[in-house]
A and B are shown apart, each in its own frame.
Chain A
Protein backbone atom coordinates (compact mmCIF):
# COMPACT_ATOMS: atom_id res chain seq x y z
CA UNK A 1 0.00 0.00 0.00
CA UNK A 2 2.03 2.86 -1.36
CA UNK A 3 -0.58 5.44 -0.45
CA UNK A 4 -0.87 4.40 3.18
CA UNK A 5 2.85 4.43 3.84
CA UNK A 6 3.17 8.06 2.79
CA UNK A 7 -0.02 9.22 4.46
CA UNK A 8 0.01 7.85 8.00
CA UNK A 9 -0.14 11.34 9.49
CA UNK A 10 -3.19 12.23 7.48
CA UNK A 11 -4.97 9.04 8.49
CA UNK A 12 -4.27 9.69 12.16
CA UNK A 13 -5.47 13.28 11.92
CA UNK A 14 -8.66 12.15 10.25
CA UNK A 15 -9.20 9.37 12.79
CA UNK A 16 -9.06 11.94 15.58
CA UNK A 17 -11.30 14.33 13.68
CA UNK A 18 -13.71 11.50 13.03
CA UNK A 19 -13.83 10.48 16.68
CA UNK A 20 -14.32 14.10 17.74
CA UNK A 21 -17.17 14.39 15.25
CA UNK A 22 -18.90 11.15 16.29
CA UNK A 23 -18.74 11.21 20.07
CA UNK A 24 -20.89 14.28 20.85
CA UNK A 25 -23.87 13.10 18.77
CA UNK A 26 -23.79 9.67 20.44
CA UNK A 27 -23.67 11.16 23.94
CA UNK A 28 -26.11 14.01 23.35
CA UNK A 29 -28.44 11.75 21.39
CA UNK A 30 -28.53 9.31 24.28
CA UNK A 31 -29.25 12.03 26.83
CA UNK A 32 -32.06 13.51 24.72
CA UNK A 33 -33.56 10.14 23.88
CA UNK A 34 -34.11 9.01 27.48
CA UNK A 35 -36.74 11.64 28.41
CA UNK A 36 -38.32 11.34 24.97
CA UNK A 37 -38.44 7.58 25.36
CA UNK A 38 -39.95 8.01 28.79
CA UNK A 39 -42.70 10.19 27.37
CA UNK A 40 -43.19 7.81 24.45
CA UNK A 41 -43.53 4.94 26.87
CA UNK A 42 -45.84 6.77 29.22
CA UNK A 43 -48.75 7.55 26.94
CA UNK A 44 -50.10 5.62 24.00
CA UNK A 45 -50.69 8.77 21.93
CA UNK A 46 -47.26 10.25 22.53
CA UNK A 47 -45.64 6.93 21.65
CA UNK A 48 -47.26 6.94 18.23
CA UNK A 49 -46.45 10.57 17.55
CA UNK A 50 -42.88 10.55 18.83
CA UNK A 51 -41.92 7.33 17.06
CA UNK A 52 -43.54 8.50 13.83
CA UNK A 53 -41.87 11.92 13.83
CA UNK A 54 -38.46 10.47 14.64
CA UNK A 55 -38.89 7.71 12.08
CA UNK A 56 -39.61 10.44 9.57
CA UNK A 57 -36.51 12.39 10.57
CA UNK A 58 -34.38 9.31 10.09
CA UNK A 59 -35.45 9.07 6.46
CA UNK A 60 -34.23 12.57 5.54
CA UNK A 61 -31.17 11.96 3.36
CA UNK A 62 -28.04 13.02 5.19
CA UNK A 63 -26.42 15.27 2.59
CA UNK A 64 -29.30 17.76 2.33
CA UNK A 65 -29.73 17.68 6.09
CA UNK A 66 -26.06 18.58 6.59
CA UNK A 67 -26.18 21.36 4.05
CA UNK A 68 -29.43 22.91 5.21
CA UNK A 69 -28.37 22.94 8.86
CA UNK A 70 -26.85 26.45 8.86
CA UNK A 71 -30.19 27.72 7.61
CA UNK A 72 -32.00 27.16 10.86
CA UNK A 73 -29.10 26.99 13.29
CA UNK A 74 -27.55 30.26 12.19
CA UNK A 75 -24.16 28.59 12.37
CA UNK A 76 -21.37 29.31 9.89
CA UNK A 77 -21.64 27.25 6.74
CA UNK A 78 -18.51 25.22 7.34
CA UNK A 79 -18.95 24.69 11.02
CA UNK A 80 -18.72 21.08 12.22
CA UNK A 81 -21.67 21.97 14.48
CA UNK A 82 -23.96 21.50 11.46
CA UNK A 83 -22.88 17.90 11.12
CA UNK A 84 -22.91 17.34 14.87
CA UNK A 85 -26.51 18.49 15.16
CA UNK A 86 -27.61 16.49 12.12
CA UNK A 87 -25.94 13.36 13.49
CA UNK A 88 -27.54 14.02 16.87
CA UNK A 89 -30.96 14.10 15.24
CA UNK A 90 -30.30 10.74 13.64
CA UNK A 91 -28.99 9.38 16.94
CA UNK A 92 -32.09 10.54 18.79
CA UNK A 93 -34.31 9.08 16.07
CA UNK A 94 -32.67 5.68 16.49
CA UNK A 95 -32.29 5.79 20.26
CA UNK A 96 -35.79 6.82 21.32
CA UNK A 97 -37.25 3.50 20.22
CA UNK A 98 -34.71 1.64 22.37
CA UNK A 99 -35.33 3.97 25.26
CA UNK A 100 -39.08 3.42 25.07
CA UNK A 101 -38.66 -0.34 24.69
CA UNK A 102 -36.11 -0.46 27.48
CA UNK A 103 -38.30 1.40 29.93
CA UNK A 104 -41.24 -0.75 28.95
CA UNK A 105 -39.27 -3.94 29.53
CA UNK A 106 -39.16 -3.17 33.23
CA UNK A 107 -41.72 -5.32 35.01
CA UNK A 108 -44.56 -3.13 36.35
CA UNK A 109 -44.63 -5.28 39.49
CA UNK A 110 -41.12 -4.16 40.27
CA UNK A 111 -42.08 -0.52 39.91
CA UNK A 112 -44.97 -1.03 42.24
CA UNK A 113 -42.73 -2.78 44.69
CA UNK A 114 -40.32 0.14 44.54
CA UNK A 115 -43.11 2.61 45.15
CA UNK A 116 -44.32 0.50 48.04
CA UNK A 117 -40.84 0.67 49.52
CA UNK A 118 -41.17 4.41 49.63
CA UNK A 119 -39.32 5.52 46.52
CA UNK A 120 -40.57 8.79 45.10
CA UNK A 121 -41.22 8.91 41.36
CA UNK A 122 -37.89 10.62 40.75
CA UNK A 123 -35.91 8.15 42.87
CA UNK A 124 -37.74 5.25 41.36
CA UNK A 125 -36.83 6.41 37.88
CA UNK A 126 -33.15 6.83 38.65
CA UNK A 127 -32.61 3.91 40.98
CA UNK A 128 -34.95 1.26 39.61
CA UNK A 129 -36.40 2.02 36.20
CA UNK A 130 -33.32 3.36 34.46
CA UNK A 131 -30.86 0.72 35.73
CA UNK A 132 -33.25 -2.09 34.86
CA UNK A 133 -33.77 -0.67 31.40
CA UNK A 134 -29.96 -0.48 31.15
CA UNK A 135 -29.26 -3.60 29.10
CA UNK A 136 -31.83 -2.69 26.47
CA UNK A 137 -30.61 0.92 26.42
CA UNK A 138 -27.06 -0.32 25.98
CA UNK A 139 -28.09 -2.51 23.07
CA UNK A 140 -29.73 0.50 21.42
CA UNK A 141 -26.75 2.70 22.13
CA UNK A 142 -24.43 0.22 20.42
CA UNK A 143 -26.51 0.44 17.27
CA UNK A 144 -26.55 4.25 17.49
CA UNK A 145 -22.79 4.29 17.94
CA UNK A 146 -22.13 2.15 14.86
CA UNK A 147 -24.57 4.12 12.77
CA UNK A 148 -23.18 7.51 13.84
CA UNK A 149 -19.58 6.53 13.16
CA UNK A 150 -20.62 5.42 9.70
CA UNK A 151 -22.73 8.50 8.92
CA UNK A 152 -20.00 10.89 10.02
CA UNK A 153 -18.12 10.02 6.83
CA UNK A 154 -20.77 11.89 4.84
CA UNK A 155 -19.67 15.06 6.64
CA UNK A 156 -16.77 15.23 4.22
CA UNK A 157 -19.14 15.85 1.35
CA UNK A 158 -19.94 19.19 2.98
CA UNK A 159 -16.34 19.96 3.88
CA UNK A 160 -16.32 18.84 7.50
CA UNK A 161 -13.23 16.82 8.22
CA UNK A 162 -13.76 13.11 8.77
CA UNK A 163 -12.57 9.82 7.36
CA UNK A 164 -14.97 10.39 4.48
CA UNK A 165 -12.29 12.68 3.08
CA UNK A 166 -10.38 9.58 2.07
CA UNK A 167 -13.34 8.42 -0.01
CA UNK A 168 -13.72 11.64 -1.95
CA UNK A 169 -10.01 12.25 -2.34
CA UNK A 170 -9.24 8.64 -3.23
CA UNK A 171 -12.07 8.76 -5.72
CA UNK A 172 -10.59 11.71 -7.62
CA UNK A 173 -7.07 10.40 -7.51
CA UNK A 174 -8.13 6.86 -8.37
CA UNK A 175 -6.42 5.32 -5.36
CA UNK A 176 -8.54 2.39 -4.14
CA UNK A 177 -6.10 1.88 -1.25
CA UNK A 178 -7.07 5.28 0.10
CA UNK A 179 -10.78 4.46 -0.05
CA UNK A 180 -10.19 1.07 1.57
CA UNK A 181 -8.16 2.71 4.32
CA UNK A 182 -11.10 5.01 5.00
CA UNK A 183 -13.54 2.11 5.19
CA UNK A 184 -11.31 0.02 7.43
CA UNK A 185 -10.51 2.94 9.74
CA UNK A 186 -14.22 3.71 10.07
CA UNK A 187 -14.95 0.09 10.96
CA UNK A 188 -12.10 0.01 13.47
CA UNK A 189 -13.44 3.11 15.22
CA UNK A 190 -16.90 1.55 15.32
CA UNK A 191 -15.55 -1.68 16.80
CA UNK A 192 -13.50 0.16 19.43
CA UNK A 193 -16.54 2.25 20.42
CA UNK A 194 -18.60 -0.92 20.62
CA UNK A 195 -16.08 -2.64 22.89
CA UNK A 196 -15.92 0.44 25.09
CA UNK A 197 -19.69 0.51 25.40
CA UNK A 198 -19.77 -3.17 26.33
CA UNK A 199 -17.09 -2.52 28.92
CA UNK A 200 -18.93 0.46 30.37
CA UNK A 201 -22.06 -1.68 30.42
CA UNK A 202 -20.30 -4.40 32.41
CA UNK A 203 -19.08 -1.85 34.93
CA UNK A 204 -22.37 0.00 35.31
CA UNK A 205 -24.74 -2.92 34.98
CA UNK A 206 -23.02 -5.77 36.82
CA UNK A 207 -26.33 -7.48 37.60
CA UNK A 208 -27.21 -7.83 33.95
CA UNK A 209 -24.68 -10.60 33.65
CA UNK A 210 -25.81 -12.59 36.64
CA UNK A 211 -29.27 -13.27 35.42
CA UNK A 212 -28.04 -13.52 31.91
CA UNK A 213 -30.47 -16.20 30.82
CA UNK A 214 -33.55 -14.05 30.65
CA UNK A 215 -31.93 -10.70 30.12
CA UNK A 216 -29.75 -11.84 27.27
CA UNK A 217 -32.81 -12.85 25.32
CA UNK A 218 -34.46 -9.53 26.04
CA UNK A 219 -31.40 -7.65 24.97
CA UNK A 220 -30.82 -9.72 21.89
CA UNK A 221 -34.40 -9.18 20.89
CA UNK A 222 -34.40 -5.48 21.43
CA UNK A 223 -31.18 -5.28 19.49
CA UNK A 224 -32.65 -7.15 16.56
CA UNK A 225 -35.80 -5.13 17.00
CA UNK A 226 -33.77 -1.98 16.48
CA UNK A 227 -32.03 -3.54 13.51
CA UNK A 228 -35.19 -4.77 11.91
CA UNK A 229 -37.15 -1.71 12.86
CA UNK A 230 -39.78 -3.90 14.43
CA UNK A 231 -41.21 -3.64 17.90
Chain B
Protein backbone atom coordinates (compact mmCIF):
# COMPACT_ATOMS: atom_id res chain seq x y z
CA UNK B 1 0.00 0.00 0.00
CA UNK B 2 2.64 2.49 1.01
CA UNK B 3 4.68 1.65 -2.05
CA UNK B 4 1.78 2.94 -4.08
CA UNK B 5 1.89 6.21 -2.22
CA UNK B 6 5.62 6.38 -2.65
CA UNK B 7 5.28 5.68 -6.32
CA UNK B 8 2.66 8.36 -6.64
CA UNK B 9 4.99 10.93 -5.13
CA UNK B 10 7.82 9.75 -7.23
CA UNK B 11 5.74 10.06 -10.35
CA UNK B 12 4.70 13.54 -9.35
CA UNK B 13 8.35 14.42 -8.91
CA UNK B 14 9.35 12.88 -12.16
CA UNK B 15 6.59 14.71 -14.00
CA UNK B 16 8.03 18.02 -12.88
CA UNK B 17 11.51 16.92 -13.77
CA UNK B 18 10.66 15.45 -17.13
CA UNK B 19 8.62 18.53 -17.94
CA UNK B 20 11.81 20.48 -17.59
CA UNK B 21 13.81 17.97 -19.57
CA UNK B 22 11.27 18.29 -22.32
CA UNK B 23 12.11 21.98 -22.37
CA UNK B 24 10.59 23.36 -25.48
CA UNK B 25 9.71 19.93 -26.69
CA UNK B 26 6.39 21.43 -27.64
CA UNK B 27 5.28 21.84 -31.17
CA UNK B 28 4.41 25.52 -31.11
CA UNK B 29 6.83 27.85 -32.81
CA UNK B 30 5.83 30.64 -30.50
CA UNK B 31 5.71 29.85 -26.81
CA UNK B 32 3.61 32.90 -26.14
CA UNK B 33 0.82 31.53 -28.31
CA UNK B 34 0.01 29.00 -25.67
CA UNK B 35 -1.04 31.79 -23.38
CA UNK B 36 -3.54 33.16 -25.85
CA UNK B 37 -5.22 29.84 -26.41
CA UNK B 38 -5.19 28.57 -22.88
CA UNK B 39 -6.84 31.37 -21.00
CA UNK B 40 -10.36 32.62 -21.21
CA UNK B 41 -10.98 35.37 -23.71
CA UNK B 42 -11.46 38.44 -21.62
CA UNK B 43 -13.78 38.79 -18.71
CA UNK B 44 -15.99 41.83 -18.58
CA UNK B 45 -16.98 41.11 -15.01
CA UNK B 46 -14.58 41.17 -12.10
CA UNK B 47 -11.78 43.64 -11.61
CA UNK B 48 -10.09 45.22 -14.62
CA UNK B 49 -6.52 44.03 -14.93
CA UNK B 50 -4.26 46.95 -15.77
CA UNK B 51 -0.80 46.21 -17.06
CA UNK B 52 2.29 48.28 -17.65
CA UNK B 53 5.60 47.91 -19.39
CA UNK B 54 8.75 47.37 -17.38
CA UNK B 55 9.36 51.09 -17.84
CA UNK B 56 8.82 53.46 -14.95
CA UNK B 57 7.08 56.14 -17.02
CA UNK B 58 4.60 53.66 -18.46
CA UNK B 59 3.93 52.43 -14.97
CA UNK B 60 3.07 55.94 -13.77
CA UNK B 61 0.45 56.25 -16.53
CA UNK B 62 -0.93 52.82 -15.68
CA UNK B 63 -1.13 53.87 -12.04
CA UNK B 64 -3.05 56.99 -13.07
CA UNK B 65 -5.56 54.81 -14.98
CA UNK B 66 -5.85 52.56 -11.94
CA UNK B 67 -6.48 55.39 -9.49
CA UNK B 68 -8.94 57.10 -11.81
CA UNK B 69 -10.99 53.92 -12.16
CA UNK B 70 -10.81 53.19 -8.45
CA UNK B 71 -11.99 56.70 -7.64
CA UNK B 72 -15.10 55.85 -9.65
CA UNK B 73 -15.75 52.65 -7.77
CA UNK B 74 -14.36 50.30 -10.39
CA UNK B 75 -12.26 47.48 -9.04
CA UNK B 76 -8.82 47.09 -10.60
CA UNK B 77 -5.92 44.67 -10.37
CA UNK B 78 -2.43 45.95 -11.09
CA UNK B 79 -0.23 43.71 -13.20
CA UNK B 80 2.67 46.07 -13.74
CA UNK B 81 6.18 45.62 -15.01
CA UNK B 82 5.48 43.10 -17.77
CA UNK B 83 8.55 43.30 -19.97
CA UNK B 84 8.29 44.56 -23.51
CA UNK B 85 5.51 44.69 -26.08
CA UNK B 86 6.36 41.28 -27.42
CA UNK B 87 5.64 39.80 -24.04
CA UNK B 88 2.47 41.57 -23.01
CA UNK B 89 0.41 42.02 -26.19
CA UNK B 90 -0.47 38.31 -26.34
CA UNK B 91 -1.66 38.62 -22.74
CA UNK B 92 -3.88 41.56 -23.72
CA UNK B 93 -5.32 39.69 -26.69
CA UNK B 94 -6.14 36.75 -24.44
CA UNK B 95 -7.78 39.00 -21.85
CA UNK B 96 -5.28 38.06 -19.17
CA UNK B 97 -4.56 41.78 -19.02
CA UNK B 98 -7.29 44.20 -20.10
CA UNK B 99 -6.05 47.78 -20.06
CA UNK B 100 -2.59 49.03 -20.93
CA UNK B 101 -1.01 52.43 -21.57
CA UNK B 102 0.51 52.34 -25.02
CA UNK B 103 2.19 54.61 -27.57
CA UNK B 104 0.49 54.98 -30.95
CA UNK B 105 3.54 54.96 -33.24
CA UNK B 106 5.37 52.03 -31.66
CA UNK B 107 2.18 50.04 -31.38
CA UNK B 108 1.31 50.65 -35.04
CA UNK B 109 4.78 49.60 -36.17
CA UNK B 110 4.45 46.47 -34.11
CA UNK B 111 1.32 45.40 -35.97
CA UNK B 112 2.18 46.97 -39.32
CA UNK B 113 5.95 47.31 -39.78
CA UNK B 114 5.55 48.68 -43.33
CA UNK B 115 3.22 51.51 -42.35
CA UNK B 116 3.76 54.88 -44.05
CA UNK B 117 1.75 56.94 -41.55
CA UNK B 118 3.88 59.60 -39.84
CA UNK B 119 1.75 62.30 -38.27
CA UNK B 120 -0.07 61.88 -35.05
CA UNK B 121 -3.54 61.76 -36.65
CA UNK B 122 -2.52 59.45 -39.49
CA UNK B 123 -0.87 57.08 -37.09
CA UNK B 124 -3.91 57.00 -34.84
CA UNK B 125 -6.22 56.35 -37.81
CA UNK B 126 -3.97 53.60 -39.17
CA UNK B 127 -3.74 52.04 -35.74
CA UNK B 128 -7.52 51.60 -35.54
CA UNK B 129 -7.47 49.28 -38.55
CA UNK B 130 -4.18 47.57 -37.71
CA UNK B 131 -5.24 46.31 -34.30
CA UNK B 132 -6.24 42.64 -34.10
CA UNK B 133 -9.77 41.53 -33.32
CA UNK B 134 -10.65 42.04 -29.68
CA UNK B 135 -8.33 44.97 -29.01
CA UNK B 136 -9.13 48.64 -29.38
CA UNK B 137 -7.58 51.97 -28.49
CA UNK B 138 -9.42 54.77 -26.72
CA UNK B 139 -8.78 58.49 -27.44
CA UNK B 140 -5.13 59.35 -27.79
CA UNK B 141 -3.56 61.83 -25.41
CA UNK B 142 -1.69 64.97 -26.45
CA UNK B 143 1.27 63.63 -24.45
CA UNK B 144 3.94 62.03 -26.58
CA UNK B 145 6.78 59.75 -25.65
CA UNK B 146 8.52 58.55 -28.76
CA UNK B 147 11.86 57.09 -29.62
CA UNK B 148 14.45 59.74 -30.43
CA UNK B 149 18.13 59.67 -31.24
CA UNK B 150 20.35 61.80 -29.05
CA UNK B 151 24.00 62.78 -29.03
CA UNK B 152 26.11 64.71 -26.56
CA UNK B 153 26.43 68.46 -26.93
CA UNK B 154 30.15 67.97 -27.58
CA UNK B 155 29.53 65.50 -30.39
CA UNK B 156 26.89 67.75 -31.89
CA UNK B 157 29.24 70.78 -31.82
CA UNK B 158 32.30 68.90 -33.05
CA UNK B 159 30.53 67.37 -36.04
CA UNK B 160 27.95 70.02 -36.73
CA UNK B 161 25.16 67.53 -36.26
CA UNK B 162 21.67 68.60 -35.21
CA UNK B 163 19.62 66.36 -37.44
CA UNK B 164 19.71 62.73 -38.49
CA UNK B 165 20.36 63.97 -42.04
CA UNK B 166 23.63 65.56 -40.81
CA UNK B 167 24.95 62.20 -39.69
CA UNK B 168 26.16 61.32 -43.17
CA UNK B 169 28.79 64.08 -42.80
CA UNK B 170 30.32 62.42 -39.76
CA UNK B 171 33.57 60.65 -40.65
CA UNK B 172 34.17 58.71 -37.43
CA UNK B 173 32.22 55.49 -36.89
CA UNK B 174 28.98 55.85 -34.97
CA UNK B 175 27.64 53.23 -32.60
CA UNK B 176 24.01 53.38 -31.57
CA UNK B 177 22.98 52.27 -28.08
CA UNK B 178 19.51 51.12 -27.03
CA UNK B 179 17.47 48.12 -25.86
CA UNK B 180 18.28 45.03 -27.86
CA UNK B 181 14.94 45.03 -29.67
CA UNK B 182 15.88 48.35 -31.31
CA UNK B 183 18.18 46.36 -33.55
CA UNK B 184 15.24 44.87 -35.42
CA UNK B 185 12.84 47.82 -35.26
CA UNK B 186 12.06 49.64 -38.54
CA UNK B 187 13.65 52.79 -37.13
CA UNK B 188 16.73 50.90 -35.94
CA UNK B 189 20.08 50.67 -37.76
CA UNK B 190 18.39 49.37 -40.94
CA UNK B 191 15.94 52.27 -41.00
CA UNK B 192 18.75 54.78 -40.52
CA UNK B 193 20.51 53.26 -43.51
CA UNK B 194 17.50 53.22 -45.80
CA UNK B 195 16.07 56.59 -44.76
CA UNK B 196 19.21 58.65 -44.19
CA UNK B 197 21.93 56.52 -45.77
CA UNK B 198 23.80 56.37 -42.47
CA UNK B 199 25.54 53.20 -41.35
CA UNK B 200 25.83 52.72 -37.60
CA UNK B 201 27.01 49.97 -35.32
CA UNK B 202 24.82 48.77 -32.47
CA UNK B 203 25.39 48.09 -28.78
CA UNK B 204 22.45 46.71 -26.79
CA UNK B 205 21.94 48.39 -23.41
CA UNK B 206 18.93 46.99 -21.59
CA UNK B 207 17.90 49.92 -19.41
CA UNK B 208 15.44 51.66 -21.78
CA UNK B 209 17.53 54.80 -22.18
CA UNK B 210 18.41 54.86 -18.49
CA UNK B 211 21.62 55.66 -16.62
CA UNK B 212 23.85 53.09 -18.33
CA UNK B 213 22.81 54.35 -21.73
CA UNK B 214 23.66 57.89 -20.76
CA UNK B 215 26.89 56.83 -19.10
CA UNK B 216 27.90 54.91 -22.22
CA UNK B 217 27.18 58.01 -24.29
CA UNK B 218 29.21 60.26 -22.02
CA UNK B 219 32.08 57.76 -21.97
CA UNK B 220 31.93 57.73 -25.78
CA UNK B 221 31.40 53.94 -25.76
CA UNK B 222 28.45 54.74 -27.99
CA UNK B 223 27.98 58.00 -29.88
CA UNK B 224 24.23 58.07 -30.28
CA UNK B 225 21.50 56.67 -28.07
CA UNK B 226 17.80 56.01 -28.28
CA UNK B 227 15.99 57.80 -25.46
CA UNK B 228 12.26 58.35 -25.19
CA UNK B 229 11.39 61.96 -25.82
CA UNK B 230 9.65 62.42 -22.47
CA UNK B 231 12.75 61.31 -20.57
CA UNK B 232 13.90 64.09 -18.24
CA UNK B 233 17.50 62.90 -18.66
CA UNK B 234 17.66 64.52 -22.07
CA UNK B 235 17.43 67.88 -20.37
CA UNK B 236 19.41 67.13 -17.22
CA UNK B 237 22.28 65.56 -19.15
CA UNK B 238 22.28 68.34 -21.75
CA UNK B 239 21.81 66.00 -24.71
CA UNK B 240 20.94 67.09 -28.22
CA UNK B 241 17.94 65.35 -29.75
CA UNK B 242 18.51 65.02 -33.47
CA UNK B 243 15.76 66.32 -35.73
CA UNK B 244 14.03 63.79 -37.95
CA UNK B 245 13.12 65.65 -41.18
CA UNK B 246 12.33 62.51 -43.18
CA UNK B 247 10.09 60.99 -40.54
CA UNK B 248 12.06 57.92 -39.52
CA UNK B 249 10.15 57.91 -36.26
CA UNK B 250 6.41 57.92 -36.20
CA UNK B 251 4.56 60.29 -33.95
CA UNK B 252 3.85 58.37 -30.79
CA UNK B 253 1.15 59.61 -28.48
CA UNK B 254 0.14 58.01 -25.25
CA UNK B 255 -2.95 55.91 -25.90
CA UNK B 256 -4.92 53.45 -23.76
CA UNK B 257 -5.09 50.01 -25.33
CA UNK B 258 -8.02 47.97 -24.07
CA UNK B 259 -9.50 44.54 -24.54
CA UNK B 260 -12.91 45.15 -26.17
CA UNK B 261 -14.72 43.07 -23.59
CA UNK B 262 -13.67 45.52 -20.90
CA UNK B 263 -14.45 48.71 -22.80
CA UNK B 264 -17.69 49.56 -21.02
CA UNK B 265 -19.00 53.12 -21.57
CA UNK B 266 -18.14 53.98 -17.98
CA UNK B 267 -14.51 52.85 -18.25
CA UNK B 268 -14.12 54.52 -21.65
CA UNK B 269 -15.41 57.85 -20.40
CA UNK B 270 -13.13 57.86 -17.33
CA UNK B 271 -9.98 56.94 -19.21
CA UNK B 272 -10.71 59.40 -22.03
CA UNK B 273 -10.90 62.21 -19.48
CA UNK B 274 -7.48 61.21 -18.18
CA UNK B 275 -6.00 61.08 -21.67
CA UNK B 276 -7.35 64.49 -22.56
CA UNK B 277 -5.80 66.05 -19.47
CA UNK B 278 -2.33 64.58 -19.87
CA UNK B 279 -0.08 66.97 -21.80
CA UNK B 280 3.42 66.39 -23.17
CA UNK B 281 4.90 68.74 -20.55
CA UNK B 282 3.00 66.90 -17.83
CA UNK B 283 4.54 63.61 -18.86
CA UNK B 284 8.11 64.95 -18.70
CA UNK B 285 7.25 66.41 -15.32
CA UNK B 286 5.83 63.12 -14.04
CA UNK B 287 8.95 61.31 -15.20
CA UNK B 288 11.14 63.89 -13.52
CA UNK B 289 9.31 63.40 -10.23
CA UNK B 290 10.12 59.73 -10.52
CA UNK B 291 13.76 59.98 -11.59
CA UNK B 292 14.89 63.14 -9.85
CA UNK B 293 12.60 63.34 -6.81
CA UNK B 294 12.47 59.55 -6.39
CA UNK B 295 8.73 59.59 -5.73
CA UNK B 296 6.66 56.42 -5.94
CA UNK B 297 4.34 55.94 -8.92
CA UNK B 298 1.47 55.87 -6.46
CA UNK B 299 2.25 59.33 -5.08
CA UNK B 300 3.02 60.83 -8.47
CA UNK B 301 -0.29 59.59 -9.88
CA UNK B 302 -2.23 60.83 -6.89
CA UNK B 303 -0.67 64.29 -7.05
CA UNK B 304 -1.26 64.63 -10.76
CA UNK B 305 -4.92 63.62 -10.54
CA UNK B 306 -5.36 66.21 -7.79
CA UNK B 307 -3.54 68.84 -9.82
CA UNK B 308 -5.73 68.43 -12.90
CA UNK B 309 -8.86 68.17 -10.74
CA UNK B 310 -9.85 64.74 -11.93
CA UNK B 311 -11.79 62.46 -9.66
Enumerate chain A interface residues (CB-CB to B < 8 A).
2-3, 6-7, 9-10, 31-33, 35-36, 39, 53-54, 57, 60, 65, 67-68, 70-78, 85, 88-89, 92, 121-122, 156-159, 161, 165, 168-169, 171-175, 177-178
Contact = CB atoms under 8 A, between A and B. Distances in A.
B13 A71 contact: no
11 contacts: A7-B296, A39-B10, A70-B35, A76-B91, A77-B90, A77-B96, A85-B16, A159-B82, A172-B210, A173-B294, A174-B291
B54 A159 contact: yes
Contacts of B2: 121-122
A7 B296 CA distance: 6
Contacts of B34: 70-71, 74, 77
Contacts of B295: 6
A173 B17 contact: no
B9 to A, nearest CB: 5
A116 to B, nearest CB: 20
B82 A71 contact: no
> Considering the complex of A and B, which 7 residue pairs feature the smallest CB-CB distances, nearest first?
A174-B211, A77-B35, A159-B82, A71-B31, A32-B13, A172-B210, A3-B294
Interface of B: 2, 6, 9-10, 12-13, 16-17, 19-26, 28, 31-32, 34-35, 38-39, 54-56, 59, 79, 81-83, 87-88, 90-91, 94, 96-97, 207-208, 210-212, 290-291, 293-296, 298-299
Contact of B91 (A53, A54, A77): A77
A177 B25 CA distance: 42
Contacts of A157: 83
A85 B91 CA distance: 20
Contacts of B19: 72-73, 85
A1 to B, nearest CB: 9
B94 A76 contact: yes
B289 to A, nearest CB: 10
B259 to A, nearest CB: 14
A125 B296 CA distance: 53
A7 B38 CA distance: 36
A175 B297 CA distance: 14
B38 A76 contact: yes
Given A32-B12, A171-B207, 19 more contacts: A6-B294, A32-B13, A36-B13, A54-B17, A65-B23, A70-B34, A76-B38, A76-B39, A77-B35, A78-B97, A85-B16, A89-B20, A92-B13, A157-B83, A159-B88, A168-B54, A173-B290, A173-B294, A175-B294
B26 A53 contact: no
B56 A169 contact: yes
A171 B291 CA distance: 10
Contacts of A60: 20, 23
Contacts of A36: 10, 13
A68 B25 CA distance: 10
A10 B16 contact: no
B38 A75 contact: yes
B9 A6 contact: no
A32 B12 CA distance: 8
Contacts of A158: 83, 87
Given A6-B296, A39-B10, A173-B291, A77 B32 contact: yes
Nearest to A90: B20
Given A172-B207, A172-B208, A6 B299 contact: yes
A76 B83 contact: no
Nearest to A178: B294
A172 B16 contact: no
Among A36, A70, A74, the most chain B Cβ lie within 10 Å of the Cβ of A70
Contact of B16 (A71, A74, A88, A161): A88
Contact of B87 (A68, A77, A178): A77
Contacts of B25: 72
Contacts of B208: 172
A68 B19 CA distance: 11
A159 B16 contact: no
Given A7-B296, A89-B17, A78 B91 contact: yes
B17 A57 contact: yes
A159 B214 CA distance: 25
B38 A74 contact: yes
